[in-house]
A and B are shown apart, each in its own frame.
Chain A
């Protein structure tokens, strides 16, 4: 059973607009959440994270929002740029074994 789910396998956005990537989780023991970005033929790279004691974390064009009651988090990218085109993985930390658990990823395509 997937504890971290990204229900949208792909998302297409126009350059300059906002990209919103969503992630849902089921394990209430998760206490830290991360977003990774992955280009083809490369490993995932860390993008931004948020602790469960916060509901928002911002870093430049990237903002992550956490809604604990809904067990939902989202990554906002604004303004979106063509170089943002990649696969974005949501990951959650905590629970049994204290391991990172990944979602299935969302492929973002930013059109010029």
Chain B
């Protein structure tokens, strides 16, 4: 356990469903991230939150909607997804100012399959 917990670990959803991914950290970090890892592609940064404020939206389609109610929790709300959205979604957190010495701490990810 890394200190960043993601639920659920696996999710299968239809294209008309609405679901949410949850990420939780109690490391005292103030920055949280959503990454997408598709097969044979680099890790893609989706969203960044610093102190609950979204500071980065990496041209992500609106069918992905992030929410950060506090510095410890991060959600990714999903609706009307496409099969090509099937991927591993990783949450990460880092100390304030993204102190590079410590890198990012990742959760184990949610394996999403859109059918």
A102 touches B108 (CB 8 A): no
Within 8 Å of chain B (Cβ to Cβ): is A67?
A: no
Using a Cβ–Cβ cut-off of 8 Å, how many residues does chain A contribute to the interface with B?
27
Contact with A along B42-78 (1 / 0, CB 8 A): 1101001000000010000000000000000000000
- The bracket for how many chain B residues form the interface is 20 to 34
Q: Is the interface of A mostly helix, strand, loop or mixed?
A: strand
A28 interface hit (Cβ, 8 Å): no
- Which residue from chain B places its CB closest to the CB of A99 in the assembled complex? B45
CB distance from A104 to the nearest CB of B (A): 4
A60 contact set on B, CB distance < 8 A: none
Which of A44, A49, A89 has the largest number of chain B CB atoms within 10 A? Answer: A44
Binding site for A on B (CB under 8 A): 2, 4, 6, 9, 40-43, 45, 48, 56, 90-92, 98, 100-109, 111
